[in-house]
Amino acid sequence: MDAYNIQDVLTELKTMPQQKDVDLITRACYFAYKAHEGQKRRSGEPYFSHVFETAKNLARYEMDATTIAAGFLHDVIEDTSVTEEALEKEFGKEIVQLVKGVTKLGTVKYQGHVRHVESLRKFLMALAQDYRVLMIKLADRLHNLRTLEHVREDKQRRIALESIEVYAPLADRFGIGKLKSEIEDAAFPYAYPKESAEVEKILADRIDGLKKSLDDVYTELNDALKKSHLHVKKIDYRIKHKYSLWKKLKERNMNIDNIYDVVAIRVIVETVEECYATLGIIHSLWKPLPARIKDFIALPKLNGYQSLHTTIFTGNGGIVEIQIRTEEMHGRAEFGIASHYIYKEKSAKKAADEKFQWVSEFKNLGKSETGTDDFLKHLKSDFFSDRIFVFTPAGDVIDLPEGSSTIDFAYAVHSDIGNKASGARVNGKFVSLDTILHSSDIVEIETRKDGTPKSKWLDITKTTLAKKHIRTYIKEHEEESIFTRFIPKKFR
């Protein structure tokens, strides 16, 4: 135990926890150490090193003491002789539920791909019950990725791809941008080794020049903001994460000159009003690129991300992106759902439940009788695809997967509107129901009292929700039709 100092975990927290929380974390640490004693990882290190690093990751993301304790204990039921009953007696039901939510389902009698999907299905069901399950699972996965060199090569790629395709998008949907990027960058060299090496070389060749182009902008902006008397908390810059950069390079024929946010200046101020005032100062100093001003403060992303983005001509041939936000916005951008402290106050938990209401759809997906392939297809199309944000005429935001049609929109608003849809207006113009929507479209659905879903709608819908309502309606009315056709009226 000498090599593992509990203080290393506690110092990751920005605010010192209460003594009862310190006691809980310490008890969990020692309990896990004893339970895993004698177990080794493939690297030869004690197995306890993994749960210790998992708990440290949770502390870095400002999780509560209960979650950090569960991080220490997340493998004891599966990998040691400790029983569920013994764990509950020592730490209570809440921690046991968290541990069960992230336990690798080794007892499920499935093999290969099917077993993996069944485990994923049950994990998502647990996630829908308690968001903290996600945080523990992501913290666990991040440390496993950082020690992936000790795993055999074929398994390395599977774990890395799974991390990029499932776990990073989950982190993104919950707004945990920092953790999403850490997972992607740790997995990238194992999932796509050639592409990772290529990005490394491109960055190495260009990063010094990119940083140099920031120097003049940074100095001039810093001087201007000091004279403005705004409450500037911090000015720094960030380099785009490697996996994210690779995705953009693919879209732009691997030409880094066509990517304007490889390095971006970040300005953190005190209030929302100061965000807009800062934007005004920036535009008085440099010309902005047309169509590159983005207001995610007025229109936040679904995952809660808020910031102002502008891209400016530096005047010496360079182009620089500048991001402006408050400290609170920055916290949400980095830590997402963890920044809500949702398990410290009931009111905050309720707010987070409303904010991430879409998670309840996992419950329906988990309970559905879809097969393995359908489950994965629905998961990727509904939850992990790129998202669009579409407006009702009243200004409410409807979040849909990219490629959704007006019918998907109708069912997302209400099943009755979907079932009775007869046409639509997009941005004031009449369109057909198979029209594909784009972010910022304003959509109004025309309905008819005698309107009914058509089987052909299944081919022009993207979301599982819409397909489910269409199939249900058609099936029920087919059965009703058979009933009225073959049962004499007097017996009905």
Do 368 and 346 contact (CB within 8 A), yes or no?
no
Residue 40, helix vs strand vs coil: strand
Catalytic entry in 12, 21, 79, 402: 79
What tokens does 155 get?
């398994």
Q: Which residues contact 147 (CB under 8 A, 6 or more apart)?
A: 41, 43, 50
* Pairing mode of beta strands 232-239, 443-447: unpaired
DSSP 374: H
Q: 8 CB contacts (<8 Å, ≥6 apart)?
A: 56
* Contact (CB, 8 A) for 418 and 453: yes
Residue 74 and residue 51 in contact, taking contact as beta carbons nearer than 8 Å: yes
Angle between helices 132-146 and 112-129 (to 10 degrees): 140
The one-letter amino acid at 281: I
User: Are 100 and 68 within 8 A, CB to CB?
Assistant: no
Query: Cα–chain-centroid distance for residue 452?
Result: 36
Whether residue 408 lies in the annotated active site: no
For residue 395, count other CB atoms closer than 10 A to its CB: 7
DSSP letter string over 188-207? HHHHSHHHHHHHHHHHHHHH
Tokens of 187: 């997995």
CA distance 289 to 458: 41
Q: What's the rounded Cα separation, in Å, for the pair 393 and 426?
A: 10
Q: Which residues pair with 320 in a beta bridge?
A: 312
The catalytically annotated residue of 78, 118, 162, 353 is 78
Residue 216 annotated among the catalytic residues of the structure? no
Chain mean position to CA 37: 35
Give me the active site residues, please: 78-79
